[in-house]
Amino acid sequence: MLTIGQIFRLLTIQRVLVKHGLDELVFTLHLFRSVRWLQRLLPWNWFRKLDETRGVRLRLALENLGPIYVKFGQQLSTRRDMLPDDVALELAKLQDKVPPFPGSIAREIIERSLGKKIEDIFRDFDETPLASASVAQVHAATLKDGRKMIVKVIRPGITRLISRDLGIINILAETLERYSRDARRLKPSAVVAEFEKTLLNELDLMREAASASQLRRNFSDSEVLYVPEVAWELTNRDVMVMERVTGIPVSDIPALEQAGVDLKWLAERGVEIFFTQVFRDSFFHADMHPGNIFIQPDGDGHARIMIVDFGIMSSLSEYDQRYLADNFLAFLNRDYQRVAELHIESGWVPPETRVDEFEFAIRTVCEPMFDRPIRELSIGTLLLRLFQTARQFNMVILPQLLLLQKTLVNIEGLGRQLHPDLDLWATAKPIMQRWMDDRVGLRAMLKGTRDTVPYWLNRLPQFPHKVMELVDRLQDGRFQVELKSGEVDELRSELRRNNRNNTRVIIGCALVLAALVIYLIGPGAWIITGFPLLPLLLGITGGWLVVKVLGEL
């Protein structure tokens, strides 16, 4: 049920759409296609001449509708897997800048939120904001001990405004899905739900402070990246106080050159830092545009990179990391069959997808990229092409991967602005290779053994009981199945599974007995084998085989 405020807001949206020639979008809906001829009867269409492209008109309309719609357009710009390139590129130009609210109101919010007078907290507080955005604005301040800080304050009344506009955007998305087949395929309701989640997260400054603190801890030993410190005692949901950092904006190339910064070194370190966040820490800053990065020269050609604004962060599971690393390396080797197999093996596309068809589609899209020198290859563009191709095969793109792709585009653009000949592959490949080595091969096996030894030592006392229980179950014939009509395939599968389980149990018990025999003989036998940890490894392997079978019963 629409509220009175939402009805008036819908009328405003209709007026803005007409103003920018976007009422044509309404007539593309299945519901109105049969009466599309009515569009020519509308008076404002008789003499109107549309000079701008659809992307420009959409961007201008969103800017007219206000900050929430601007942020929604920014979110849509990351969905280049589902939007035409011209529209996505135009929406990426949207700037989240709104007029500031009075500093006196910011002062009131801070005092009410922290329960103290401004004079009791800060030596001085500048009521003129440093920056103002749709959700919050930032002020400069100095603590009693002389530390320079920034104070981020949530915009008053923003929760009510967000609730109203999100309700309308949800209604529009549901209407599109109801009457448009293309919209149902693109799932605008899911896009809106993800946007709502992101926006509501930005309203909680405790969440942003926690993200900043985590990133600072991840790079506490770094001499290249510096993350400002949060003043936790002065931070809550509506107010965040953080160390103020200063430096040269990363986009100010002349100032960096004048300060003697080695731009090639800076570009490579920036790429390294980002891929370290992705593959080492699985936690990355997802809004690394030039306005959030400052450079502090150290005088010898090097510098310290300083990052601010931690409202948009993201993380990747080990599954996502493996997907990215494997695909990037396979692509670099032009092994398109492996790329296709990886998508199917990881479950990103349906298992019934034909590898040869998927491989051909990937080759068609990606092969032309190799016509350019390898240093000009874009990892962000590669990822986008993979997403666009895989989407044709019903791949569901996860939000964190979209954020990663958007941030990669920012990093690449910035890196090549600093140093046009930057070879991103040469910089990123060692980090991905190191991550793969840590999880595959001997090093990964030793690490896995070390991590699981406490678990198996804890389970060993239960081992004799589990073995006897398994033997009893085998003697009781619990692995037998009855043949029923139409279940021949299931019977065969069950028989194969039983045989496999029996083999595992026999091998597992043999390994455990061998471990016990070697252990009882004494250290001399361990040394003769050439591997002192042999009895432990045999016991763990055998126990794992038996417990795995028990877990499947």
Angle ∠(357,359,360) on CA atoms, nearest 5: 65
Distance CA 93, CA 89 (A): 7
Amino acid at the residue 156 = P
The residues, ordered by sequence, that sit 6+ positions from 530 with a Cβ below 8 Å of its Cβ are: none
Could you tell me if 79 and 91 are in contact, meaning their C-beta atoms sit under 8 angstroms apart? no
Closest listed residue to residue 225, CA positions, set 176, 179, 275: 275
| pLDDT beneath 50: ranges in the chain | 29-35, 37, 479-487, 525-531
3-state helix, strand, coil in the chain (%, to 5): 65, 10, 25
Distance CA 300, CA 308 (A): 24
How confident is the model over 479-523, as pLDDT tens digits?
444 444 444 556 566 666 666 666 766 776 776 666 666 656 555
Distance CA 427, CA 510 (A): 48
pLDDT at 538: 64
Distance CA 474, CA 477 (A): 5
Distance CA 11, CA 468 (A): 75
Tokens of 309: 């604004």
Q: What is the pTM of this model?
A: 0.70
pLDDT at 553: 53
Distance CA 171, CA 155 (A): 25
The number of angstroms, rounded, from the C-alpha of 441 to the middle of its chain's C-alpha atoms is: 27
Q: Which helix (H) or strand (E) holds 142?
A: strand 136-143
Q: Where are the alpha helices (DSSP H) in 203-335?
A: 205-218, 253-258, 263-276, 318-332
> Domain extents for the chain?
4-95, 97-162+194-244, 248-440, 460-552
pLDDT at 440: 60
Distance CA 27, CA 103 (A): 45
Closest listed residue to residue 550, CA positions, set 485, 478, 496, 447: 478
What is residue 437's three-state secondary structure?
Answer: helix
Tokens of 235: 């931070």
Amino acid at the residue 517 = V
Q: What dihedral angle (degrees, nearest 10) is formed by the CA atoms of 31, 35, 40, 45?
A: -20
202 class by beta-carbon count within 10 Å (0-12 exposed, 13-18 middle, 19+ buried): buried
Distance CA 91, CA 75 (A): 9
CATH of 97-162+194-244, one of 3.60.20.10, 3.30.200.20, 3.20.20.140, 3.30.420.40: 3.30.200.20
Q: Which helix (H) or strand (E) holds 418?
A: helix 399-418
Distance CA 62, CA 93 (A): 11
Positive or negative: CA dihedral 29, 35, 37, 42: negative
What secondary structure does DSSP assign to 12-62, as a single string?
Answer: HHHHHHHHTT-GGGGGGSTTTGGGGGGGGGSGGGTS----S-HHHHHHHHH
Could you tell me if 286 and 406 are in contact, meaning their C-beta atoms sit under 8 angstroms apart? yes
Helix axes 442-459, 534-552, angle to 10 degrees: 70
The residues facing 387 across adjacent strands are: none
User: What does residue 117 show for φ and ψ, rounded to 5 degrees?
Assistant: -75, 145
* Pairing label, strands 303-307, 225-226: parallel
What is residue 124's three-state secondary structure?
Answer: strand
- DSSP label of 311: S
What is residue 329's three-state secondary structure?
Answer: helix
What is residue 261's three-state secondary structure?
Answer: coil
Residues annotated catalytic, as ranges: 287
First vs last Cα of the chain: how many Å apart? 52
Tokens of 371: 């016509």
Share of the chain above pLDDT 70, in %: 69
382 class by beta-carbon count within 10 Å (0-12 exposed, 13-18 middle, 19+ buried): buried
Amino acid at the residue 455 = Y
The residues facing 243 across adjacent strands are: 149
Could you tell me if 456 and 543 are in contact, meaning their C-beta atoms sit under 8 angstroms apart? yes
Could you tell me if 90 and 52 are in contact, meaning their C-beta atoms sit under 8 angstroms apart? no
Closest listed residue to residue 54, CA positions, set 18, 9, 93, 90: 90
- DSSP label of 280: I
Tokens of 290: 């030039």
How confident is the model over 71-83, as pLDDT tens digits?
888 777 766 666 7
Tokens of 30: 């299945």
